[in-house]
């Protein structure tokens, strides 16, 4: 079982409305409520490909209930630790006719020491059946940046490999505990691949120039879309992370890992839906290439 961890899970609220303007009331024609957060996005893609996956993390309030309900509706197993504060919401309002989108993102909830302790106990319980751990995303208020380091250490003690997708100090604390793979994903300066590799992880994978680059102690590889690929392909970070998981667990070569991950990232929509036809076409054709650096 692959366990994805989202400590700052969110409820994505999407509205479709008519013309938007200030100082007026907009009529919503369609509303959608979707569990989100980077680890949840990874779980969606892994589930789509038939992997045994469980989503965990922290969730609270009405938003937390809707997060769990959405995952249950889509058949994704979930085991979130309850917190007292409301999970954050991300609002997206799409203006019909123009397609313009206005987004609002709430801050994460405050998490108490007691709640963190309960989550740590739940996490260590899940490690007994885990074949791999994916730690993803930002931290809510109240959690120390070294939390990812502790979670990597717990997994190492249980003999479970870890992929860490984070940024900033959280990334550095986790990288020092030697996870199998780190994927820098902060909004600031996370350092170069060589600097991160020196901290101790087995490998570093980085988004770069519309593609992905992997740096290991045995070599470096880069995957990119070719001129024959759709030029409007948007990269789904959650799908990219999910695409690197099976290769780690099954021992694929780095070229195969990167091909799978980049094909997934390029053919997955914002709600986590994978276009399997486009994915298979990209893998079997000449729309992407991998080179050793």
Question: Length of the chain in residues, anyone?
Answer: 293
| Residue 72 confidence (pLDDT) | 96
For residue 188, pLDDT over 70 is answered with no
| Residue 197 confidence (pLDDT) | 93
Q: Could you tell me the pLDDT band of residue 4, with boundaries at 50, 70 and 90?
A: very high
Mean pLDDT highest for which of 2-6, 23-27, 266-270, 274-278? 2-6
Structure tokens at 30: 């369609």
Q: Could you tell me the pLDDT band of residue 233, with boundaries at 50, 70 and 90?
A: low
Residue entry with tokens 């020491």: 113
Strand order across the beta sheet in which 203-208 lies: 77-83, 53-60, 2-6, 132-136, 162-166, 181-184, 203-208, 211-216, 219-225, 288-292
Residue 153, in any domain of the structure: no
Residue 191, in any domain of the structure: no
222-227 contact pairs (CB < 8 A, 24+): 222/258, 222/290, 222/291, 222/293, 223/255, 223/258, 223/259, 223/261, 223/262, 223/288, 223/289, 223/290, 224/262, 224/288, 224/289, 225/262, 225/266, 225/287, 225/288, 226/286, 226/287, 226/288, 226/289
- Condensed to tens digits (0 to 9), the pLDDT of residues 199-212 reads 999 999 988 767 89
Average pLDDT score over residue span 235-254: 92
Nearest to 259 by CA among 221, 219, 220, 218: 221
Kindly state the percentage of the chain with pLDDT values over 70. Answer: 95
Q: Could you tell me the pLDDT band of residue 17, with boundaries at 50, 70 and 90?
A: confident
Structural domain harbouring 247:
202-293
| Residue 149 confidence (pLDDT) | 97
Residue 134 and residue 272 in one domain: no
DSSP 112: -
Residue 130 and residue 53 in one domain: yes
- Condensed to tens digits (0 to 9), the pLDDT of residues 44-100 reads 999 988 999 999 999 999 999 999 999 999 999 999 999 999 999 999 989 888 888
> Strand pairing partners for 285?
none
Residue 135 and residue 16 in one domain: yes
Run of H or E including 127: none
Question: Which distant-in-sequence residues (6+ apart) come within 8 Å of 198 by Cβ?
Answer: none
Task: Tell me which of 25-39, 97-111, 142-156, 225-239 is least confident.
Answer: 225-239
| Residue 231 confidence (pLDDT) | 54
Question: Which distant-in-sequence residues (6+ apart) come within 8 Å of 42 by Cβ?
Answer: 4, 134, 136, 165, 238, 241, 242, 245
Residue 17 and residue 107 in one domain: yes
Count of domains forming the chain? 2
Average pLDDT value for the chain: 90
**Domain CATH code at residue 3:** 3.40.1190.20
Domain closes at, from 127, 143, 159: 143
Residue entry with tokens 């709600």: 271
Residue 126 and residue 47 in one domain: yes
Residue 126 and residue 211 in one domain: no
Residue 42, in any domain of the structure: yes
Residue 166, in any domain of the structure: no
Residue 34, in any domain of the structure: yes
Residue 19 and residue 88 in one domain: yes
Residue 126 and residue 209 in one domain: no
CA torsion sign for 169, 173, 176, 178 is negative
The total of other beta-carbon atoms located within 10 Å of residue 138's CB is: 20
For residue 27, pLDDT over 90 is answered with no
Residue 138 and residue 227 in one domain: no
Residue 170, in any domain of the structure: no
Average pLDDT score over residue span 128-135: 97
Query: Helix 276-284 crosses helix 254-266 at what angle (to 10 degrees)?
Result: 140
For residue 33, pLDDT over 70 is answered with yes
Residue 148, in any domain of the structure: no
Compute the distance between CA of residue 112 and CA of residue 104 in angstroms, rounded to an integer: 25
| Residue 153 confidence (pLDDT) | 97
Query: Helix 237-250 crosses helix 38-48 at what angle (to 10 degrees)?
Result: 60
| Residue 25 confidence (pLDDT) | 82
- Condensed to tens digits (0 to 9), the pLDDT of residues 175-187 reads 999 999 999 975 5
> Strand pairing partners for 207?
212
| Residue 189 confidence (pLDDT) | 59
Residue 172, in any domain of the structure: no
């Amino acid at each position: 079982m692959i366990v994805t961890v989202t400590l700052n899970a969110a409820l994505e609220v999407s509205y479709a409305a008519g013309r938007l303007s200030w100082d007026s009331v907009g009529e919503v024609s369609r509303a959608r409520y979707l569990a989100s957060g980077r680890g949840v996005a990874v779980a969606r893609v892994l589930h789509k490909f038939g992997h045994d996956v469980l989503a965990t993390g922290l969730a609270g309030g009405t938003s937390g209930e809707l997060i769990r309900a959405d995952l249950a509706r889509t058949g994704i197993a979930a085991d979130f630790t309850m917190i007292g504060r409301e999970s954050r919401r991300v609002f997206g309002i799409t203006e019909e006719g123009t397609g313009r989108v206005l987004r609002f993102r709430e801050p994460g909830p405050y998490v108490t020491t007691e709640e963190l302790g309960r989550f740590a106990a739940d996490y260590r319980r899940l490690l007994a059946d885990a074949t791999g751990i994916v730690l993803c995303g930002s931290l809510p208020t109240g959690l120390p940046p070294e939390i990812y380091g502790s979670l990597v250490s717990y997994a190492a003690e249980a003999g479970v490999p870890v992929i860490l997708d984070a940024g900033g100090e959280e990334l550095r604390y986790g990288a020092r505990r030697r996870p199998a793979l780190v994927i820098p994903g902060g909004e600031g300066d996370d350092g170069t691949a060589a600097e991160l590799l020196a901290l101790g992880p087995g490998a570093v994978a980085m988004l770069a120039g519309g593609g992905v680059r992997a740096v290991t102690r045995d070599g470096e590889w880069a995957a990119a879309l070719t001129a024959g690929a759709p030029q409007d392909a948007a990269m789904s970070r959650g799908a990219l992370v999910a695409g690197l998981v099976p290769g780690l667990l099954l021992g694929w070569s780095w070229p195969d890992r990167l091909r799978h991950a980049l094909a997934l990232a390029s053919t997955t929509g914002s709600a986590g839906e994978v276009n399997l036809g486009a994915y298979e076409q990209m893998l079997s054709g000449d729309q992407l290439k991998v080179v050793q650096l």
